[in-house]
Amino acid sequence: MEVKTSLLDNMIGVGDMVLLEPLNEDSFIENLRNRFDHNEIYTYIGSVVISMNPYRSLPIYTPQKVEEYRNRNFYELSPHIYALADEAYRSLRDQDKDQCILITGESGAGKTEASKLVMSYVAAVCGKGQEVNKVKEQLLQSNPVLEAFGNAKTMRNDNSSRFGKYMDIEFDFKGDPLGGVISNYLLEKSRVCKQPRGERNFHIFYQLLSGASDDTLMKLKLDRDFSKYNYLSLDSANVNGLDDAASFRTVRNAMQIVGFMEAEVQSVLELVAAVLKLGNIEFKPESRINGFDESRVKDKNGETIEMCELLGIEQSVLERAFSYRTVEAKMEKMSTTLNVAQAYYARDALAKNLYSRLFSWLVTRINESIKAQAKTRHKVMGVLDIYGFEIFEDNSFEQFIINYCNEKLQQIFIELTLREEQEEYIREDIEWTNIEYFNNAVICDLIENNQNGILAMLDEECLRPGTVTDDTFLDKLNTICAEHQHFESRLSKNSKFLTDHSLPHSCFRIQHYAGKVLYRVEGFVDKNNDLLYRDLSQAMYKATHSLMRQLFPEGNPAKVNLKRPPTAGFQFKASVGVLMKNLQTKNPNYIRCIKPNDKKVAHIFTDSLVCHQVRYLGLMENVRVRRAGYYLCSALTEMLCSCSYHPLDAFFLCPQLFTLEERRRACLEDLATLIQKIYRGWKSRTHFLLLKKSQVVVAAWYRRYAQQNKYQKIKSATLVMQSFIRGWKVCIEYMPVSLQMQKYFLGLKTTTMSPMDNTWPTQPYGFLEGAHTELRRIFHLWRCKKYRGQFTEEKKSVYEEKLEASEIFKDKKALYPSSVSQPFKGDYLEIQKNPKYQKLNGAVEEKVLLADLVNKINRANGKGSPRLFLLTKSNFVLADQKTGQVKASVPLPDLASVSVSTQSDGFFALKLKEGSASASKGDFLLSSEHLIEIITKLHRIGTTAADRDQINIDISDE
């Protein structure tokens, strides 16, 4: 992989605008266009990064790129956001300087993606380890959660941040992340109830309906159809490039990584579902006797019931909160009814407050998980991702607040990059030309001045008694700000549009640093008041849902606060002031984001749009200030030191720099050519010697192989010829008979060694009849002998018993076939080894031929008793199973016969001879699993004994 050694090597256009010649607006825009067309979306102004949104994925954020920019000089490689992130991280780690990265630009310019890239780079280059990796993963995974709940699709951006976010990432002395703290600013909660045409509500609503399982939606009482919810716009419900179902799975996984419990996730989704349900609640007028109309909830689809079930609140409590308003003043309470319009206002106010408070709870909950645990002092890197400057056809209170915030950020940029640098040039007595620039402090003062600023007058209108409307607020502006040079209205003294209908009566215009913006005053007072009726707060506090009391603490009747809550404008102004103080304590790093076109498509560069952004961002003035004094010299010195120049050579004008750079490049090319020449010669010579050596070895091995192969072929041919000649001679003499005899004897090979196999080759000639028969007989006797020779005496005895069992029972007893495969074991009780039967073993003097457990059948009641059955050559014995005591011992000569049935049962009867000594004991009816073996052994003993009659075996069905 090629690694550039200088900012100027192989550069498309000029990578640092400080070196641009000639410097004017046209060359500035042309340089941006040239680099953009070649996928170079980053350009420097000194240490400031200009980022062009490519509206497509580029292969410049790989792990290899991270390693390439890691611990490298800022100017050493081509411009990249990684270079700024690395510079900020190393300054924090090595120089102990707190850093902040300010990302500014219009909506859709790529600020959110830039903040993600900075965080992912810092996470990649900082330390490793199980705990550190867990912290990094939690910090990174907080983004998908906040984007889902705080971002939305707008006309200018498919993933527009509708809230401001500032994250302080805390590091230890080694530079390893310890945790972080997130601050959020002014969620655009009016979007919950109404969205401009072509825009969407917050992502989470669409993600939930698209990606949640059917079971989850059933628990939340939701349907996948977007059209069933009044708060969801349908014209832009589906956005190309956004997979809401996949995003929902990502959000669920991110919440788990950050540290949300499953019960907490379910509670959050329940509140999201409740907001959707709120939008479907409708009201109907109900006439009263005194002539006033009051609202009643019209719950035709059961939305109110389902929402109450989700929140754990009684339906009557919620319906009353939508129908009445209680006002408290000096210990007195007065209840008034709400008409339909007021009820709808209360419903939307509740929805907006519920969602915005849920969002604030999410930020607080994330902070609990990602906060640093160590108590020691931390190094801090702040990343600011806040809404961009916005100019819409219809601009209301939200755009006014957003643009005010951007004015404050621009003021910091001016303070730190333009004014302070020029003042430092004066202190250092550096000869330079003063650079004129627009200082927007006058606009910030117009908005935030405590006495006569627009926000102060708006608060005054909201708090004063009497009739207050948006028109009275505009009248006050026309009175107080009439002569301000950046304020215009139909009645202001600066207005030149008294007859111009582009400036309506209900609007005012402010000349911002980014251009003129027309604001419609409709809704300013209500949105600034941000009031939620106390009845609704108290109703929400009564809900049993796990989060409601945390979200609506003012609803606690025991802690009623009659003091009016601060306005939205006051809160935002205070939070912006805290943010500005925080940023001023850190070393700033700037990323100025620019969108190349309004169509949100790749490869389109609109000169007029880019020029407008360059002008209001003050980028030309920034370049001129940085070229005017020692900043240029120090930057060039740092860059040229990496190229082996002496630092003192840096103090020259930009054209001289390019001349020397060309000479340096020519010398480097000549040196590279010489090195390549020597290297290629050495490489070719080495390759040739290796080829020559290999050729000699291959040739030697091949010649030997060829000769061996030739010899083997000659030898094989000779043997073939000899065999054919010899065979030909034999065939002439013995061909007729020999062929048949050969076929006959070869056929004997196929005869198996099994004595059961009766196959034998056919007789070829009549004269072989005697030999044929004798060979067959001899072969059969021989293989039988071979087969018998394998038997031991014990095995022979077993087979003899098996043969005798076959003669007795085959085709007579149904139980017999199942016993063929079971070997005759004899002693099934192991009587010689089992100590339990030592007494019994002593009582039997002869060798036990069979020991088995049988059932003795009582003829009186048919019940069986387990008995031990022992058989010797002279007696059979029945003994008690538990005690081993002999119950009966019968000499075999007294046994007359054994009777069994033809069935598959195990019963057998032992009949004694009449008049024998044992006849008094009576016959025995027994049952055994080894009947075949017992009777075979009885028969075998009776047959081999010379002093007694053979035992009769009776097999019948009787």
Q: How many Å apart are CA 619 and CA 627, to the nearest integer?
A: 12
Q: At what angle do helices 303-311 and 315-323 cross, to 10 degrees?
A: 110
> Can you tell me the distance from the alpha carbon of 406 to that of 385, in angstroms, rounded to the nearest whole number?
11
Is 189 labelled as part of a ligand binding site?
no
Residue 609 · residue 598 · CB < 8 Å: yes
In DSSP terms, which residues pair with 334 in a beta bridge?
327
DSSP string covering 422-464: HHHHHHTT---PPPP---THHHHHHHH-TTT-HHHHHHHHHHS
CA distance 150 to 246: 18
Q: Which residue in the list 31, 104, 157, 210 is annotated as catalytic? A: 157
Distance in angstroms (rounded) separating the CA atoms of residues 523 and 931: 104
Taking the C-alpha atoms of residue 272 and residue 263, their distance in angstroms, rounded to an integer, is 14
User: Which residue type sits at 938?
Assistant: L
Indicate the pairing of strand 48-52 with strand 587-594. Answer: parallel
| Residue 458, φ and ψ in degrees, nearest 5 | -65, -40
Active site residue 716: no
Full 3-state SS string of 365-405: HHHHHHCCCCCCCCEEEEEEECCCECCCCCECHHHHHHHHH
**Residue 111 annotated in ligand binding:** yes
Cβ atoms < 10 Å from Cβ of 921: 15
183 carries a ligand binding annotation: no
- Which two structure tokens, joined as six digits, stand for 905? 């049962």
Beta strand residue intervals within 552-631, DSSP E? 587-594
Rounded CA gap, 13 and 615, in Å? 21
Q: What CA–CA distance (Å, rounded) separates 678 from 728?
A: 74
Active site (annotated) includes residue 161: yes
CA distance 164 to 185: 5
User: Which of 118, 177, 179, 116 has the alpha carbon at shortest distance from 589?
Assistant: 118
* Active-site position among 6, 160, 819, 901: 160
Distance CA 183, CA 372 (A): 15
The C-alpha angle with vertex 753 and arms to 749 and 755, in degrees rounded to 5, equals: 130
Structure tokens at 544: 């049993």
Is 872 labeled as ligand-binding? no
Q: Which of 282, 343, 350 is CA-nearest to residue 530?
A: 350
Q: If phi over 0 gives left and psi between -120 and 50 gives alpha, with beta otherwise, what is residue 336? A: beta
HEC per residue, 615-660 = HHCCHHHHHHHHHHCHHHHHHHHHHHHCCCCCHHHHCCCHHHHHHH
- Token pair, residue 435, equals 């650079």
Q: Which of 279, 388, 629, 942 is catalytic?
A: 388
Assess contact for 875 and 886: CB atoms under 8 A.
no
Has 110 been labeled as part of a binding site? yes
User: Both tokens of residue 945?
Assistant: 């004994």
In our burial notation (b when 16+ CB lie closer than 10 A, e otherwise), range 585-621 reads: ebebbbbbbbbbbeebeeeeeeeebbeebbbbbbbbb
Does 107 qualify as catalytic in the annotation? yes
The alpha-carbon radius of gyration of the chain (Å, integer) is 51
Q: Which of 6, 43, 51, 112 is catalytic?
A: 112
The verdict on whether residue 433 carries a ligand-binding annotation is no
Could you give phi then psi for residue 165, rounded to 5 degrees? -130, 130
109 annotated to bind ligand: yes
Residue 669 annotated as part of some ligand binding site: no
Concerning whether 46 is annotated as a catalytic residue, the answer is no
453 flagged as catalytic:
no
Active-site option among 31, 51, 104, 107: 107
Q: Which two tokens stand for residue 648?
A: 């003192």
| Residue tagged active-site, from 51, 78, 142, 161 | 161
Q: What DSSP string describes 276-315?
A: HHHHT-EEEEEE-TTS-EEEEEE-SSSHHHHHHHHHT--H
Q: Which amino acid is at 882?
A: K
Name the 3-class secondary structure at 591.
strand
Name the catalytic one among 13, 108, 211, 382.
Answer: 108
388 is catalytic: yes
Catalytic residue list contains 112: yes
**Which residues have a catalytic role annotated?**
107-108, 112, 157, 160-161, 388, 390
Annotated binding site for ATP: 105-112
Annotated binding site: 105-112
